Amino acid sequence: MVLLHAFPLHAGMWREVADDLATGHLVITVDQRGFGDSADIVLPTAASLDVCADDLAGVLDELGEPGAVLVGVSMGGYVAMAFARRHASRLRGLVLADTKVTADTLDAAAKRLEIAEQVLAEGDARGFTASMLPKLLGETTRAEKPDVVKETAAILAEASSEAVAWAQRAMAARPGSETVLAGLRGLAVRGAEDTLMSAEDADGVVRALGGAPAVVIPGAGHLPPLERPREFAEAVRRLTRAV
* pTM for the full predicted model: 0.96
What residues have CB less than 8 Å from 235, skipping those under 6 apart? 95, 187, 189, 215, 217
Q: Which residue, among 168, 70, 166, has the nearest Cα to 110 in the 3D structure?
A: 168
Range of the domain at 18: 2-242
Is the pLDDT at 78 greater than 80? The verdict is yes
Q: Is the pLDDT of residue 105 over 90?
A: yes
User: Exposed, middle or buried: residue 65 (CB in 10 Å: 0-12, 13-18, 19+)?
Assistant: middle
pLDDT reading at 187 higher than 80: yes
CATH code for the domain of 45: 3.40.50.1820
- Which residues are CB-neighbours of 17 under 8 A, at least 6 positions away? 3, 225, 229, 232, 233, 236
Predicted pLDDT at 122: 96
Angle at 102 between CA 16 and CA 192, to 5 degrees: 40
Number of domains into which the chain is organized: 1
Mean pLDDT, rounded, for 138-149? 98
